[in-house]
Every structure is written in structure tokens, then in C-alpha cells.
């Protein structure tokens, strides 16, 4: 499902199902991986029209026109829609719409980066597959992140791969990468462009974040303060020299672009996959969540008692577990000591028996010698 929410209060405005042309739900293997809500809107008297672009793992792309009513009580209606496929095989893992919202790029596992004209739903460029290696083995590229180098120019594309490589493509020059370099040793998971049109920010699976000048492929520097999880999204603020990053360590971090210092970090208690800046946010319509005044003091007290009990239960369990483990270790040590004592006693008994046998052996030898002498005397 695709849900469109209000950024002010989180109310659901409308939902769109991930269905095919026949109206059937797509399987779980064909989930939505790309989503873009167009900023251009057609104002009308009683409703507003917005365009929604979605792309699935198998490359099924849809452009929908949705009529959003002014009042939230009235349900939205889906107008015209267009559907096409951006890949014949492979899986789409990254997509991006340029600043003019006229072009979009797609790439993924076994899918070379390709650019589409959204007005005509036509492919205008496709990257060329890499050549075979020295052994004659062909390994298809696995693109994990991609973006346009500039919001005003759709001809230059920066793409990161699963083999920790970063490629710069110029669709007006050639189909092979213009610049290509390696970044650390883990897959590239996030790529974001800067406002100057030549700097990009790169994040990988081991939590490294750096800025690169794509005119020369030179590493400008790494951001100080390593993240403890994979970075999945990077966003550049449209006005201030600040970028935000999020990932699987459940933190949203804010960095200074010039000094590459960490400004702030917020823990959000869950894995994060995307972060964006709202440039139009002014804070006037924002109302922070406040406790309902209709609740009585007794209800609030009972809720706090229940929470305190829930928080203290795991502590008691931990103590009980610690006591059980201590008693088990004591029993194990006592059993080991007892087994050692028994083994020592058995060893001593064996030694005593061996000594007794050794003391008896010479006597038997002497007796045998005497018996031999007696036999010889009798024979003589």
C-alpha cells in the first residue's frame, strides 16, 4: 500500500494499492521500492490534483493522477494512470527524479542505469554493461544508490554499486563511466548531491560518510564521528550548510558541511531507511502532542504504576536468572572437585597396588631360583 499523509498532523489523506493492470495485488517479491510525489499541482475550485510516481522491484512503473479534496472527510479519487516497465530482467533497487521532474533514472541488480522521459514514458539513455575480466567472466553491475549530480541538469548521474564503486555518467558524452573510483570496502548505500553541482555525499554499509569532488574524483574528507550502522539515506538542506543522515543504527544525525563535524543526533528507536528536509515548514500549524486534559489524575497514576511494574519485571527476572546461574556454577564446581578427589583416590589406590605387586615379584623370583637349585641337587 502507498499512503499519503498530512505532514502537519499525520492524518491519512488517501491510499493507493500496489496492483497490476488487471487490478490484482502484486506479489511480495514485487514490492514498491521507488516513490515520488510531484511538487507541481493543478489548483482547482474544490479539489487539488497531484501526480504520484511509483516503481516496483520488477520494474513496473506507474504514474497516477490523484484528485485530493480540500476536506479530509471526502475520499480521494484516482484519475488517469500510465504503467510501463523500465527493465526486462533483474531487480530495481534505486530510482531518482530530477529537479525539473521531467526525467527519472532507475538501476539495480542486473539492471544498468537508464534514464526515462516522464512526459512520453520513453527511455532516452542506458549505460553500457562492463566488459569481461581477464578470465573472460562477465559480472553484471549491481547498483545500490544513484542521483543526479545537479538539480538543473539531468545529463550527469552519480551511481554507487554493491562492489563499493562510485561511477559518474555523462549521458551526452558516452555510455561508459566518465570517472570511476572505489570507496572503502563495503557497498555504497546512499548518494546525495550538493547545491554547488559537483560535490556528492557518499554513505556505505559500514557507517562511513564522506564528501567527494566529482570533477576530479578526489575525496574531500570524511565526516567525523563514525556511525554504528549502515547509512541508508542522506539529505542536503536547501538553505543551510547542513546534511542529515540516517541508517540502521536508529539515529538521525546532522552534520556541518564545511567542518564535517557532528552537530546533533536523535535516537528514533527503529531502523531508518529515508530522511528528507521540509523546506516549507514554518512551525505555525505544528502542534506538539499534549496529554489529554480529560484524563483524571487517578487514571494517570494507574498508568504510571503499570508502566513502573512493566519496567521492573525484567530486572527481577534478571536477578533470578543470575541466582540460578550462580547456584548452577556452584554445583558444577562442587561436582568437579568431588570427581577430582575420587580420581586422585583411585590413582593412589592404583599406585599402592602396583607397589605391592613390585614388592612381591622378587620373592617369587627367589623361590623360583631355589626350586631350580633343589631340582639340580636331586638330579645329582
CA distances in angstroms from 94 to 73, 91, 272, 318, listed in the order given: 35, 9, 16, 44
Q: Check: CB of residue 124 under 8 Å from CB of residue 164.
A: no
Share of the chain above pLDDT 90, in %: 48
46-50, 114-118, 218-222: segment of lowest average pLDDT: 46-50
Q: What would you measure as the largest C-alpha separation in the chain, in angstroms?
A: 147
Reply yes or no on whether the pLDDT at 369 is more than 60.
Answer: no
CA dihedral 18, 24, 30, 35 (to 10 degrees): -20
**pLDDT class of 312 with cuts at 50, 70, 90:** very low
Model confidence at 376, pLDDT cuts 50, 70, 90, reads: very low
Q: 119: alpha, beta or left, given left = phi > 0 and alpha = psi -120 to 50?
A: alpha
Is residue 152 pLDDT above 50, yes or no? yes
Compute how many other C-beta atoms are within 10 angstroms of the C-beta atom of residue 160. Answer: 26
pLDDT band at 44 (very low <50, low <70, confident <90, very high): very low
What's the distance, CA 376 to chain centroid? 99
**Spatial contact of 91 and 110, defined as CB atoms under 8 Å apart:** yes
Q: Residues 6 or more apart from 374 whose CB is under 8 A from it? A: none
Whats the size of the chain, residue-wise? 380
pLDDT confidence tier of residue 211, bands split at 50, 70 and 90 = very high
pTM (2 d.p.): 0.71
pLDDT at 335: 64
**Helices (H), ranges, 108-173:** none
Kindly tell me if the per-residue pLDDT of 289 is higher than 60: no
143-to-31, 133, 189, 220, 336 alpha-carbon distances in Å? 18, 19, 9, 23, 58
- 3-class SS letters over 169-223: EECCCCCCCCEEEECCCCCEEEEEECCCCCEEEEEECCCCEEEEECCCCEEEEEC
| pLDDT tens digit sequence for 255-276 | 999 999 999 999 999 999 999 9
| Mean pLDDT, the chain, whole residue set | 79
> What is the distance between the alpha carbons of residues 355 and 198, in angstroms, rounded to a whole number?
91
The total of other beta-carbon atoms located within 10 Å of residue 93's CB is: 20
Average pLDDT over residues 118-139: 91
pLDDT digits (tens, 9 = 90+) for 91-125: 999 999 999 999 999 999 999 999 999 999 999 99
237 grid coordinates: 538542506
Amino acid at each position: 500500500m502507498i499512503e499519503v499523509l498530512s505532514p502537519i498532523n499525520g492524518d491519512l489523506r488517501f491510499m493507493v494499492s500496489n496492483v497490476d493492470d488487471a487490478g490484482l495485488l502484486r506479489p511480495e517479491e514485487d514490492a514498491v521500492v521507488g516513490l515520488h510525489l510531484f511538487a507541481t499541482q493543478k489548483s482547482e475550485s474544490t479539489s487539488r490534483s497531484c501526480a504520484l510516481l511509483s516503481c516496483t522491484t520488477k520494474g513496473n512503473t506507474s504514474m497516477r493522477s490523484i484528485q485530493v479534496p480540500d476536506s479530509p472527510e471526502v475520499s480521494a479519487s484516482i484519475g488517469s494512470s500510465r504503467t510501463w516497465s523500465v527493465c526486462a530482467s533483474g531487480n530495481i533497487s534505486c530510482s531518482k527524479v530530477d529537479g525539473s521532474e521531467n526525467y527519472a533514472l532507475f538501476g539495480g541488480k542486473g539492471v544498468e542505469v537508464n534514464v526515462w522521459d516522464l512526459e512520453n514514458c520513453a527511455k532516452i539513455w542506458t549505460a553500457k554493461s562492463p566488459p569481461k575480466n581477464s578470465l573472460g567472466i562477465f559480472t553484471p553491475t549491481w547498483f545500490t544508490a544513484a542521483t543526479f549530480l545537479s538539480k538543473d541538469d539531468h545529463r550527469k548521474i552519480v551511481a554507487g554499486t554493491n562492489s563499493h564503486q562510485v561511477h559518474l555518467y555523462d549521458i551526452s558524452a558516452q555510455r561508459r563511466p566518465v570517472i570511476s573510483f572505489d570507496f572503502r570496502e563495503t557497498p555504497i548505500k546512499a548518494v546525495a548531491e550538493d547545491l554547488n553541482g559537483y560535490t556528492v555525499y557518499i554513505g556505505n554499509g559500514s557507517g562511513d560518510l564522506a564528501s567527494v569532488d566529482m570533477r576530479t574524483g578526489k575525496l574531500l574528507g570524511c565526516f567525523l564521528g563514525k556511525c554504528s550502522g549502515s547509512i541508508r539515506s542522506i539529505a542536503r538542506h536547501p538553505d543551510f550548510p547542513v546534511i542529515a543522515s540516517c541508517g540502521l543504527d536508529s539515529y538521525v544525525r546532522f552534520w556541518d558541511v564545511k567542518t564535517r563535524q557532528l552537530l546533533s543526533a536523535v535516537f528514533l528507536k527503529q531502523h531508518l531507511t529515508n530522511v528528507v528536509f521540509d523546506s516549507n515548514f514554518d512551525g505555525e500549524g505544528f502542534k506538539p502532542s499534549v496529554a489529554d486534559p480529560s484524563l483524571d489524575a487517578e487514571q494517570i497514576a494507574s498508568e504510571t504504576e503499570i508502566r513502573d511494574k512493566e519496567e521492573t519485571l525484567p530486572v527481577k527476572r534478571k536477578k533470578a536468572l543470575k541466582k540460578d546461574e550462580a547456584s548452577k556454577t556452584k554445583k558444577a564446581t562442587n561436582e568437579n572437585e568431588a570427581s577430582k578427589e575420587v580420581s586422585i583416590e583411585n590413582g593412589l589406590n592404583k599406585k599402592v597396588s602396583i607397589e605391592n605387586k613390585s614388592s612381591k615379584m622378587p620373592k617369587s623370583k627367589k623361590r623360583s631360583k631355589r626350586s631350580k637349585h633343589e631340582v639340580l641337587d636331586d638330579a645329582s
